[in-house]
Amino acid sequence: MSALQHATALQQEIRLWKEKRNAVILAHNYELPEIQDIADVLGDSLALARAAAKTDADVIVFCGVHFMAETASILNPEKTVLLPDLEAGCSLADSINVEQLKAWKAEHPGAVVVSYVNTSAEVKAESDYCCTSSNAVNVVRAIPEDREILFLPDMFLGSYVQRVTGRQNMHIWLGECHVHAGITPTDVNNVTRAHPRAELLIHPECGCSTSSMYMLAEGLLPQDKTHLLSTGGMLDYAKTSSSDTFIVATETGILHQMEKANPEKRFVAANPHAICPFMKKITLHNVLAALQEMKNVIDVPSEIRARAKTPIDRMVAIG
């Protein structure tokens, strides 16, 4: 049996077990192509949180990383949430813990805490709002301008939001996603020189995002061809744009969907080595095992869930 035939057989078996369990499979845009292809819902963190909040399935199989499965569990305490590999973590979420956040809050009493969704349930429970890259600007704009803001943990997304909103009373935690931080200004410069007619799509978490905003302001990047977008925003833009070539500055997993939805267009990774090892821990084998054995259940303690749900609800509600 070829590798393709084996993958197809596993996908068919997963679909059978999904029906038996009345399960729904949610998958992030950075997952392996064969995982994306079996998803009932495929999207960025915000889209998946909204899907988790609405599903009527008994079981949620979350093909993503740990904090995402936690978010689904917080929104659905009566449902069973499975994470196919418990080692699917997140370097960005690990860049701040609840003790560090409590100490930071003590230094800024009365400040509003905005936590990127890439955080643990414990950190969310100490927050006022959660956000994703697609709605971070709108979340900050929803907070009265005279209120001090603590934004965590991603410094690149925080810098982007601060520049767009003009908020001077916003403090930014110095955390980063090691994969996105590895997409550098040099990468962007090199690939834009090689593809001068291409449109440039940049995720706000990227290590090149702050420099790209500066270069945009200085006219060093074309205003009409440079776009800072969430992964969901990238997918939508690529479908509607008349351009035929795009440089994509984010984790390379998204290229599968982009190419699938736009076979006539070309997509070039700003850094082809921008691969998240945690996202790639989810495989067809461990998705099937999770469904068959109902293992790797994500269960958030009730006292943390109750406190974390409010900032998550606010995130889901704000467009």
Q: Output the known binding site for [4Fe-4S] cluster.
A: 90, 177, 276
Residue with tokens 């095992």: 289
* φ, ψ for residue 248, nearest 5 deg: -115, 115
- The binding site for iminosuccinate consists of 28, 45, 116-118, 133, 203-205, 231
- φ, ψ for residue 61, nearest 5 deg: -95, 110
Burial class from Cβ neighbours inside 10 Å (0-12, 13-18, 19+) for residue 187 reads buried
Q: Where are the beta strands (DSSP E) in 58-148?
A: 59-63, 80-82, 112-116, 129-131
- Which residue in this structure is represented by tokens 């006219």? 219
Q: How many helices (H) and strands (E) does the chain have?
A: 15, 12
Whole-number Cα distances in Å, 247 to 146, 171, 200, 231: 38, 31, 5, 13
